[in-house]
Chain A
Amino acid sequence: MARRSLEPVLWLLFSAGGVVSALVLPVLVLLLGIAFPLGWLDTPNYEHLSAVVRHPITRLALFGICVLSLFHAAHRFRFTLYDGLQIKHLNEMIGLFCYGGAIALSIWAGYLLWRLA
């Protein structure tokens, strides 16, 4: 019973996370992961960046983006383990690893964003 009623919720989180990560992550990867380090663009004024990051709405939005993306990834990875490695019989361990990992990282994200200097 518990397993049956959890799947719909997990799928909805997966879907929401899928939409959010699809909309938001590509440009962020490009900017923060590639363009800034390589100096393709003049990295923005540090003061500006700092102000944007510290803004409560930014922190809230970042939290939402991180949590949803993490649960999206966890759900997808869980099924990849089932289908790719055919280890579905380790169901409970996989669930614990994937969603537990997502929860742990979400807690870290929340703590980090809450306690931003």
Chain B
Amino acid sequence: MSDHSIAERSTYTEYHPRWLRRRPSTYWWLERRAYLSFITRELSSIFIAWFVVYLLLFVRAVSLGHARYLEFVVWSRHPVVMVLNVVTLFFVVFHAVTWFNLAPKAMVVHLRGKRLPASLISASNYGAWVVTTAVLLWLVLGG
């Protein structure tokens, strides 16, 4: 296509001025609050992966008997593990909140020809979160 060749011809010739191209800095994500917020959200992935491991270890400890379960609880009281889990809580909540706030962008629901407002989609996501939390609390604590 000719426009591509025009670009090539005009890029660098002996008489064409040199364009200045600046590379983004390695710390580009510190330059704006929005970028920092974005990277924080992305880093939540590490803590989600950690918690999956922790969850599986928890389940295994429960299944190996009361004594092993109590040992696990003691281990999870270790400052390093505790701090890690507190940090993980922050990150998974951050992930959940940003996820529910952004969900309406991808999910456009039409009811009888009209688009449902974004706030309704967000609200129903938060509603689902509350219900799921309640169910899990009942499941784990109940009985």
Measured CB to CB, the residues of A under 8 A from B are 15, 18-19, 21-34, 36-38, 41, 43-46, 48-54, 62, 65-66, 69-70, 72-77, 79-80, 83-86, 101, 105, 108-109, 112-113, 116-117
Contacts and interface: CB of A to CB of B under 8 A. Distances in A.
A74 B24 CA distance: 25
Contacts of A76: 42, 44-45
Contacts of A18: 95, 99
Contacts of A44: 140-143
B101 to A, nearest CB: 11
Given A26-B89, A44-B140, A66-B52, A112 B60 contact: yes
Given A37-B73, A84-B29, A86-B26, A27 B137 contact: yes
Could you tell me the dominant secondary structure of chain B's interface residues? Answer: helix
Contacts of A45: 143
Size bracket of the B interface:
35 or more
B12 interface: no
Contact of B63 (A15, A54, A83): A54
A62 B95 contact: no
Given A37-B77, A38-B77, A49-B62, A23 B56 contact: no
Given A24-B132, A25-B96, A31-B141, 15 more contacts: A18-B95, A24-B136, A25-B48, A25-B95, A27-B132, A30-B89, A33-B82, A54-B63, A70-B49, A73-B48, A76-B45, A80-B45, A83-B29, A86-B26, A116-B60
